[in-house]
C-alpha cells in the first residue's frame, strides 16, 4: 500500500481489486484520445481531471461533486444570464417612463376639464345672481371675499406656503390689483346687461387690446402674422354685435372696458417688473392680488351701492334669500377655483398651449350658455362669433412667430 495516498477507504469495506478505468470527458465523449487512468489499491490518482471539482450526493459531505461543466462554459452561461438581466432593465425603465407620461397626460386632461367646468358653472350661476340682484359691485365684492377666505384657510393650514412679502413688492403689485379689480367688475357689469354668449364674444377682442397696449407702452411692434389674425377677430365681433338680440351699449362698453383692464394687467406685469422669488409664484401672486382687491373693492361698494346683501334687502326686492346665497357662494367658489386651475395648467404647459386652451374654453362657455339659457342666436350672429373665435385661435398660434432678422 502506498504511503502517499490521497484518501483511504474505510477499513470496514472489503479491499478493492485494482482495475483499469477509462473515463471520458462528459462534453467530449466522442473523442477517443483520452489516456487510460491507472488506479492502484487504496489509491485513486486522476491527473487529467485535476481542474475538476467533486461533489457527493449528500449535502453534508465536505467534498463537492464534479459539476460536469467546464469552468469557462459556466462563466459564459453566467455572463449570458447577466446580460439578459441587464437588457431587461431598460425595458422596465421604458415601461415606467411610459406610465409616467400617461399619468401626466391624464392629470393635464383632468385639469383642463376642471378649468372648463368651473368656468361654465361660474358664468351660469353668476348670470342668475346678477339678473336677480342688479348689484354688480356687491356681487364682485362677495367673489373677492370668498376667495380671500379660501386663501386664508390654505395659508393657515399650510396647504400652500404663506409668502413673505416686502413693502416694495406690495407697492409693485398694487397697480395689478387695481386693474384686476376693475376687470372683474366690468365683466360682471356686462353680464348683468347682456347675454353670457355676447359678453364672451366681445371678450374675444382681448388680443386686439394686448397688441395695441404692447405697441404703445412696451414698443413691441406686431408681426404681419399677428395683424392678419387680429382682422377676423375685430370683424367677427362687429358682425356678432350688430346682430345681437340682447345688445345694449352699457353691456357692450363694459365688456370692452374689461378687455382693456385685463390686458393692462398683463402689460403692467411686464412694465412694473415685479421681482419674483421662490415664494412668489403665479398662484401666490394671484392670491395676494385677490386679498388686495377685496380691500380696494369694499369701501367703493359700500359708498356706491350700500349694503345690498342682507336678507332684509334681498327679500324686499322679491328674491329668495337662500337661493341667492347658495348661487352666489357657488359662483364665487367657481370663480376662484377656475383661476387657480388656470395657473396650475400654465405651470405645466407652454403659453401658446394655454392660449389655445383659453380659446377653446371661450367656445365651451358660449355654447353651454346658449343651450342653458336658450339664448336666441341668428345665423349672422353665429357666423360672426365663429369668425372671431377662429381669429383668436389663429392669434394664439402665430403670436410666438418672430420675424427673421435682416441680413446685411
Q: What is the pLDDT of residues 215-246, one digit of tens each?
A: 888 888 889 999 999 999 999 999 999 989 88
Question: What is the overall mean pLDDT for the chain?
Answer: 79
Q: Which three cell numbers stand for residue 171?
A: 407697492
pLDDT grade, residue 161 (50/70/90)? confident
pLDDT grade, residue 162 (50/70/90)? confident
Question: In whole angstroms, what is the distance from residue 375 CA to residue 381 CA?
Answer: 11
Alpha-helical regions (H) of 305-320: 311-316
**What is the structure's pLDDT at 233?**
94
State percent of the chain over pLDDT 90: 49
Tens-place pLDDT, residues 328-380 = 999 999 999 999 999 889 888 887 788 888 889 999 999 999 999 999 999 99
Give which of 307, 349, 367 is closest to 135, Cα–Cα: 307
**What is the structure's pLDDT at 58?**
42
Q: Inform me whether the pLDDT recorded for 2 exceeds 50.
A: no
**What is the structure's pLDDT at 350?**
80
**What is the structure's pLDDT at 301?**
95
Tens-place pLDDT, residues 26-60 = 444 444 444 444 444 444 444 444 444 444 444 44
Give which of 330, 342, 305, 297 is closest to 126, Cα–Cα: 330
Question: In whole angstroms, what is the distance from residue 98 CA to residue 115 CA?
Answer: 26
Amino acid at each position: 500500500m502506498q504511503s502517499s495516498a490521497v484518501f483511504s477507504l474505510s477499513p470496514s469495506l472489503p479491499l478493492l481489486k485494482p482495475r483499469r478505468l477509462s473515463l471520458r470527458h462528459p462534453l467530449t465523449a466522442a473523442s477517443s484520445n483520452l489516456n487510460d487512468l491507472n488506479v492502484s489499491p487504496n489509491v485513486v490518482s486522476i491527473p487529467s481531471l485535476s481542474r475538476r471539482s467533486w461533489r457527493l450526493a449528500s449535502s453534508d459531505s465536505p467534498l463537492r461533486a464534479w459539476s460536469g461543466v467546464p469552468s469557462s462554459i459556466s462563466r459564459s452561461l453566467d455572463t449570458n444570464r447577466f446580460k439578459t438581466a441587464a437588457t431587461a432593465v431598460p425595458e422596465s425603465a421604458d415601461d415606467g417612463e411610459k406610465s409616467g407620461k400617461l399619468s401626466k397626460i391624464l392629470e393635464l386632461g383632468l385639469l383642463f376639464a376642471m378649468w372648463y367646468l368651473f368656468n361654465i358653472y361660474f358664468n351660469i350661476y353668476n348670470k342668475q345672481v346678477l339678473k336677480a340682484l342688479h348689484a354688480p359691485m356687491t356681487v364682485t365684492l362677495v367673489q373677492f371675499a370668498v376667495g380671500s377666505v379660501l386663501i386664508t384657510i390654505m395659508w393657515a393650514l399650510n396647504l400652500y406656503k404663506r409668502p413673505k412679502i416686502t413693502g416694495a413688492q406690495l407697492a409693485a403689485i398694487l397697480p395689478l390689483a387695481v386693474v384686476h379689480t376693475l376687470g372683474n367688475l366690468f365683466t360682471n357689469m356686462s353680464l348683468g346687461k347682456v347675454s353670457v354668449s355676447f359678453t364672451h364674444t366681445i371678450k374675444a377682442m382681448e388680443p386686439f387690446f394686448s397688441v395695441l397696449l404692447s405697441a404703445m407702452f412696451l414698443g413691441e411692434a406686431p408681426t404681419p402674422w399677428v395683424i392678419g389674425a387680429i382682422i377676423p377677430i375685430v370683424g367677427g365681433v362687429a358682425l356678432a354685435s350688430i346682430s345681437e338680440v340682447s345688445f345694449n351699449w352699457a353691456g357692450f362698453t363694459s365688456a370692452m372696458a374689461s378687455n382693456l383692464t385685463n390686458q393692462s394687467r398683463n402689460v403692467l406685469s411686464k412694465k412694473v417688473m415685479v421681482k419674483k422669488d421662490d415664494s412668489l409664484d403665479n398662484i401666490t401672486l394671484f392670491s395676494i392680488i385677490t386679498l388686495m382687491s377685496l380691500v380696494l373693492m369694499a369701501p367703493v361698494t359700500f359708498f356706491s351701492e350700500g349694503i345690498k346683501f342682507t336678507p332684509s334687502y334681498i327679500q324686499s326686492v322679491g328674491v329668495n334669500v337662500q337661493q341667492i346665497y347658495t348661487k352666489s357662494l357657488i359662483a364665487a367658489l367657481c370663480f376662484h377655483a377656475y383661476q387657480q386651475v388656470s395657473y396650475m395648467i400654465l405651470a405645466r404647459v407652454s403659453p401658446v398651449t394655454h392660449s389655445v386652451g383659453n380659446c377653446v374654453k371661450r367656445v365651451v362657455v358660449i355654447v353651454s350658455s346658449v343651450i342653458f339659457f336658450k339664448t336666441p342666436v341668428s345665423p349672422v350672429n353665429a357666423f360672426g362669433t365663429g369668425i372671431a373665435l377662429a381669429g383668436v385661435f389663429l392669434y394664439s398660434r402665430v403670436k410666438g412667430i418672430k420675424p427673421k432678422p435682416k441680413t446685411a
